[in-house]
A = this chain, B = another copy of it.
């Protein structure tokens, strides 16, 4: 069997029914019952095509195909979990494309021979990090960047741990998989491919990202009765931090490079209209392709936060931090993918990824190839996220070619 676009698109439609939201998106937060249903559906799909499906200690889902008994695995994958009102393409496209590419490659090498690696299609646990922090949890544990026990004890806002949530949907195990290489395809989540009229992004490097959790401690008092001078207003201080973060992005961006700062989570206590807030929990991240620029922006943000603390009488506690350095993907892998895209006649372009992906972790572990297909208008983490059928199928064809060459030893040598 070679790539069957009709079957792929039909499977994509079935997959998108899990956690479907009214405006065409999905809500499949990590280890919820809906995530569990999606995982069970995907297990069934893979088993129907001859894969054996197993889970590791942090709930990563591996669908295994044995092509070269005893050899290590080439992993292909992404994630099936989503944001609360996320798009149906982010992650899920890459997992389904991985399965279809693997099936086609298996059939080809079974006929033609030459496989020196096995294939593992992977659905990494909790890439999104909205229910359980940090994001990219499954691939972080798999690559040894995050302690498994620490991850399993992480609680969601209702106090449910990762371990309890994974056990409740029955998708946790003890398998281990020895990898030789990793390949991932994902929607761009930006507009550079669309703007350039290209179908394929060859990802050259990640942006560096520093993510910080802050808790601002103020003093609860009556908004109506407490004069400004007597206030220790956690909400005012936290709002000032959000504004300061934006100013840092603007001040450190010029024609030579860009800094992006964000705050998407901001929780106020006790959050009552007539009460000066006693506490705000917020997350701020700072990203740049350029490590020096990132370091300068980060130092500037710290200085501004110290100033806010001093001026507003609050105490700003810096909690956990997660640092991802800007790093290049494997150059030989980019060259291999480019050559495959040329053979297929697909327009391609070298891009960097602003967003984190599981491949951000994997590339520090094994040689890794990261591919993008376009996102309409760059809209993502949104129900209106959209990638055309043509672009999805073009990406799938490319993925199949790339994986076909990786399993026969063209990217990393047989061990």
Write the residues of chain A forming the contact surface with B, with a CB cutoff of 8 angstroms: 83-85, 90, 128-130, 133, 135, 188-191, 207, 209, 211, 219-228, 230, 235-236, 238-240, 242-243, 246, 249-250, 253, 258, 260-268, 270-278, 283, 285, 287, 353-356, 378-383
Contact = CB atoms under 8 A, between A and B. Distances in A.
30 contacts: A83-B272, A83-B275, A84-B272, A128-B274, A129-B272, A129-B273, A135-B273, A221-B378, A222-B355, A222-B381, A223-B263, A224-B262, A224-B287, A224-B354, A225-B380, A227-B258, A228-B249, A228-B261, A236-B242, A236-B243, A236-B246, A239-B266, A262-B276, A264-B268, A264-B274, A266-B271, A266-B277, A272-B381, A274-B381, A278-B382
A287 B381 CA distance: 39
Given A84-B272, A223-B262, A224-B260, 6 more contacts: A129-B272, A219-B379, A219-B382, A236-B243, A264-B275, A264-B277
B378 A264 contact: no
A135 B222 CA distance: 13
Contacts of A261: 228
B133 A273 contact: yes
Contacts of A188: 225
Contact of A274 (B83, B85, B258): B83
Nearest to A209: B224
Contact of A285 (B209, B223, B243, B250): B223
Given A83-B272, A133-B273, A260 B209 contact: no
B268 A272 contact: no
B268 A223 contact: no
A34 to B, nearest CB: 15
A227 B354 contact: yes
Contacts of A240: 239, 243
Contacts of A207: 224
A266 B264 contact: no
B264 A235 contact: yes
Contacts of A250: 228
A378 B276 contact: no
> Top 4 closest A-B pairs, CB basis?
A223-B262, A189-B225, A224-B355, A239-B242
A363 to B, nearest CB: 16
A182 B303 CA distance: 54
A137 to B, nearest CB: 12
Contacts of A239: 238-240, 242-243, 263, 266
Contacts of A84: 270, 272, 275
A265 B383 CA distance: 27
A271 B267 CA distance: 8
